[in-house]
Amino acid sequence: MRLAITLLSILLLASLAVNGWLLWRIFNHAKGTQLHLISPSNQTKPTDSVYLPPNLKSGMETVSPDVPLSLDDAIERLTHSLQQGDYDEVAFRLTELLQANPENAELLLLEAELIALTQPLSEALMHYYSLLEMPLPPAERQKIYSIINELSENAIRQLKEDQAWDLMAQLLEPLFQLLPEHRGYILGLAEAYGQQQKMTLMEDVLASLPPNDSQAQIIRQRAFRARETGFNRENISTDKPVDREPGGEQRLSLIRVGDQFLAQIRIGERPTNMLLDTGASTTAISSQVFEQIKSTQRVRFIGVFDVNTAAGKIRAPLVQLPQVTLGPYQFSDLSVLVMPVGEMQRAEGLLGMNVLKVFDFRIDQVSDQLVLREH
């Protein structure tokens, strides 16, 4: 009996020991699991959140680097930075976000907008066309079509009105190669060639249309008329009272700078000294002038174009100025390029042939005057 009691005591003690050990293991396992779940280094980030570096948040509210920012908030901040002209920063951050969200329609459209503001307009339009090859929602596809139409139609209309045929050809050549049956691109490119008297190129493009196409015939007629007359004055008005000298000449005082001459125009109410440059097809202003007038003028962005200068090829934005005045002559909605100050050669801009070619003009070097006569 005593032996049985001893064995039962031993078994009871062993059972208590095992139960104690099991309770100790369970407690420590639960404790360890809890610490693992709240450890910041092991948290799983929400799928709709991203972490933005502090430099993107500069100038905005202070946010801890460890606080998650929703993708919508990140896009909103990038849009703000884009509007402020922080193009390099936006490009860098967009690259990161698109790597994580390669099919996000908002990011793709934001990238396309950045390209439109910084790259040649033809490249921007081709990028928009490439987006249409992606499996985007119908609403986003329609939005892209609307953007393409707005950008291309506004640019073609403005370049045509301003007779910037070289820039118009630069815009439409790659688009015509991409979409050789696009009627708008065919007609626009053919007219750009025809007005530059590139008749063979004009006919090559018009060959994409039926032989008796009425609009093609009009383009041919305009091209031959331009060859005969040498000008088109549709974009010039003289609605201000003008005291003309006998013979209809207007004489404007020039400023002589070495062997070059500066003429003063007015952009809105701002006097601007422009270097006469018959080698420039399009008038240009310095970026400094642009910064001064953009807050007071209804300036419209057309697109970026490659421009040949004495220092080589540069990329310059083309904008539309609502009112430019040269003497008594007023030009409405005139296209001008915005170029670096270093390209201006001691002037605030270049007075190009899109203004001068509507006149018979000469420089009177004895009296330092620009003599203008309307065609």
Lowest-confidence region among 209-213, 221-225, 296-300, 326-330: 296-300
Residue 103 lies in a domain: no
CATH of the domain at 325: 2.40.70.10
pLDDT (0 to 100) of residue 249: 84
pLDDT at 369 over 50: yes
Could you tell me how many residues make up the chain?
Answer: 375
Split at pLDDT 50, 70, 90, the class of 56 is very low
Give the CA-trace dihedral at 338, 342, 345, 349, to 10 degrees. 20
Residue 320 lies in a domain: yes
Instruction: Please name every residue paired with 369 in a beta bridge, in sequence order, or none if there are none.
Output: 253, 364
pLDDT (0 to 100) of residue 168: 95
Q: What is the pTM of this model?
A: 0.73
SS3 call for 88? helix
DSSP structural state of residue 120: B
pLDDT at 209 over 60: yes
Which domain does 309 fall in, by range?
236-374
Token pair of 224 as six digits? 């031959």
pLDDT (0 to 100) of residue 333: 87
pLDDT (0 to 100) of residue 290: 93
SS3 call for 291? helix
Give the CA-trace dihedral at 62, 67, 70, 71, to 10 degrees. 80
- Mean pLDDT of the residues in the chain: 80
Residue 303 lies in a domain: yes
Query: Is-contact 238 374, C-beta < 8 A?
Result: yes
What is the rounded CA–CA span in Å between residue 193 and residue 201? 6
pLDDT at 30 over 60: no
Tell me the average pLDDT across 278-294: 90
What is the rounded CA–CA span in Å between residue 106 and residue 125? 17
Q: List % helix, strand, coil for the chain (3-state, nearest 5).
A: 50, 25, 30
Query: Is-contact 212 338, C-beta < 8 A?
Result: no
Query: Is-contact 247 236, C-beta < 8 A?
Result: no
pLDDT (0 to 100) of residue 295: 82
Residue 53 lies in a domain: no
pLDDT (0 to 100) of residue 230: 59
Tens of pLDDT, residue by residue over 257-285, are 888 999 999 998 999 999 998 888 899 99
Lowest-confidence region among 25-34, 71-80, 158-167, 200-209: 25-34
Place of tokens 């002559």: 329
Split at pLDDT 50, 70, 90, the class of 35 is very low
Query: Is-contact 123 130, C-beta < 8 A?
Result: no
pLDDT (0 to 100) of residue 142: 95
Lowest-confidence region among 43-47, 254-258, 289-293: 43-47
- Strand segments, DSSP code E, in the chain are 49-50, 69-70, 236-237, 249-257, 260-267, 270-276, 284-286, 300-309, 312-326, 329-339, 349-351, 359-364, 369-374
Lowest-confidence region among 189-193, 297-301, 341-345: 341-345
Residue 334 lies in a domain: yes
Residue 196 lies in a domain: no
Query: Is-contact 91 114, C-beta < 8 A?
Result: yes
How many angstroms from the chain centroid is the CA of residue 152?
12
pLDDT (0 to 100) of residue 238: 40
pLDDT (0 to 100) of residue 20: 52
pLDDT at 289 over 80: yes
CA torsion through residues 187, 190, 191, 192, sign? positive
pLDDT (0 to 100) of residue 67: 56
- The DSSP secondary structure of 45-73, one letter per residue, reads PPTTEE---HHHHTTS----TTS-EEHHH
Split at pLDDT 50, 70, 90, the class of 28 is very low
- Number of domains the chain contains: 1
- The DSSP secondary structure of 145-201, one letter per residue, reads HHHHHHHHHHHHHHHHHHT-HHHHHHHHHHHHHH-TT-HHHHHHHHHHHHHTT-HHH
Query: Is-contact 348 273, C-beta < 8 A?
Result: yes
What is the rounded CA–CA span in Å between residue 186 and residue 173? 9
Instruction: Please name every residue paired with 273 in a beta bridge, in sequence order, or none if there are none.
Output: 264
- How many other C-beta atoms can be found within 10 angstroms of the C-beta atom of residue 176? 21
Residue 355 lies in a domain: yes
* CA-based nearest residue to 81, from 38, 108, 113, 129: 113
Lowest-confidence region among 51-65, 68-82, 181-195, 296-310: 51-65
Residue 266 CA: distances (Å) to CA of 38, 93, 269, 326, 351: 67, 41, 6, 7, 12
Token pair of 337 as six digits? 């390029």
Split at pLDDT 50, 70, 90, the class of 94 is very high
How much of the chain exceeds pLDDT 90, in percent? 55
Split at pLDDT 50, 70, 90, the class of 143 is very high
Split at pLDDT 50, 70, 90, the class of 298 is confident
Split at pLDDT 50, 70, 90, the class of 68 is low
Residue 148 lies in a domain: no
What is the rounded CA–CA span in Å between residue 316 and residue 338? 6
